[in-house]
Amino acid sequence: MPNSSYLDYNATAPVRPAVVEAMRAVLEQAGNPSSVHRFGREARRALESARAAVAMLVGVAPDQVVFMSGGTEANNQALRSARGPVVVSAIEHVSVLAAAPDAVAIPADAEGRIELPALERELARVAPEMVSVMLANNETGVIQPVRDVVEVAQRHGARVHCDAVQAGGKLAIDMTALGVDFLTLSAHKFGGPQGVGALVVRDGLEPDAFLRGGTQERRWRPGTENLPGIVGFGRACELALADSDWRERTGGLRDRLEAQIAALAPAARVFGRGAARLANTSCLTMPGVSNQTQLIAFDLAGIAVSTGSACSSGKVGPSHVLAAMGVDPREAASAVRVSLGWASTAEDVDRFVDAWGRLYARTRRPATDARPA
Ligand code: PLP
């Protein structure tokens, strides 16, 4: 859209043009990957080549990748395979929290990282079968110490699931080096289509699917595969790996945005600034201005941003992530999330900063300045 800026990549990223092309080719050609005729064999080839691309993104063997309908399904599948108690971080996405409603939740520190001493204590107390900790938080972008979590969990005999939906395509991921048993990915957060993702499974784990049906995806996920989506997912992975300076470019834009906001309002707070963060994410407050007011003003200015909570639920409410970090609810209510990505430009950042500055100045103006119309 002309004169508009899309700065909500953590909700969903625009699909890369080369992904659209790859998907179009599949949509124009019949073929079920389970059919034995040549159309089926061609579809199977496309499926397996996408699987190899996804595997390459996270450094595993292709047969560890199980295609699913997205991050929500993969998180549910991973957590439902736990037969005993589960421990999660309190800042997980709702698809993890809701899939394990009885889980013990570990709080975060003031920078938005899971509290490792609290995790250690709860593991000793609960002796869980599974621990679930995300790689990067969707609201703050804060990167979690997953390798340390694995080390602690293994000492207590627990498996680890890692929701890497926000990290996929944005951070270099080596699942084997991380040491997790399950890893969740979703295509639409980094230039692939919506409605497709993967649960990546440690080598040697046996399927325990909650869907019943055919033998697709080694029985982990029965049902005819979403081939156009999967091919788009694979292409997005290839592009993410090829575009290696993405992080530097986006990080530069994000830092410029934060520096300009700090110059306009030194009291504006950026959550998780003291921690390692995704290069594309900034969760920041406009002191004294509610995020509802901000979202409306930005929308009128043609700018798409969100509150963290709106990202997952479609409605606006208090952020459980900021609450888990101990942020005062009034301050949390003035936070919006800006998230950039592959097509973001300096003009997008400048448009946002300009709209931010105008709204902030307007709300600062003393009431006596207001002139009757
Ligand atoms: N996990 C995280 C951290 C997310 O940010 C999201 C989406 O917002 C999901 C899981 C759910 O992924 P999907 O939209 O593919 O179901």
Longest Cα–Cα distance in the chain = 78
The answer to whether 227 touches 47, Cβ cutoff 8 Å, is yes
Q: What is the pLDDT of residues 298-310, one digit of tens each?
A: 999 999 999 865 4
- Residue 310 is encoded by which pair of tokens? 């709106």
- Does the pLDDT of residue 265 top 70, yes or no? yes
- Does the pLDDT of residue 372 top 60, yes or no? no
Look-up: residue for tokens 């600062």? 364
The answer to whether 235 touches 253, Cβ cutoff 8 Å, is no
- Ligand 1: residue of 189, 311, 319, 320 to mutate (most ligand atoms within 8 A of CB) is 189
- Ligand 1: residue of 138, 199, 319 to mutate (most ligand atoms within 8 A of CB) is 138
- Does the pLDDT of residue 83 top 60, yes or no? yes
Q: What is the pLDDT of residues 37-77, one digit of tens each?
A: 999 999 999 999 999 999 999 999 999 999 999 999 999 99
Consecutive H or E run containing 132: strand 130-132
Calculate how far, in angstroms, residue 93's C-alpha sits from the geometric centre of ligand 1.
7
User: Is 76 a pocket residue for ligand 1 (Cβ < 6 Å)?
Assistant: no
Average pLDDT value over all residues in the chain = 94
Global pTM reads 0.95
Nearest to 310 by CA among 288, 289, 324, 294: 294
Instruction: Break the chain down into helix, strand, coil percent, rounded to 5.
Output: 45, 15, 40
d(CA 315, CA 68): 25
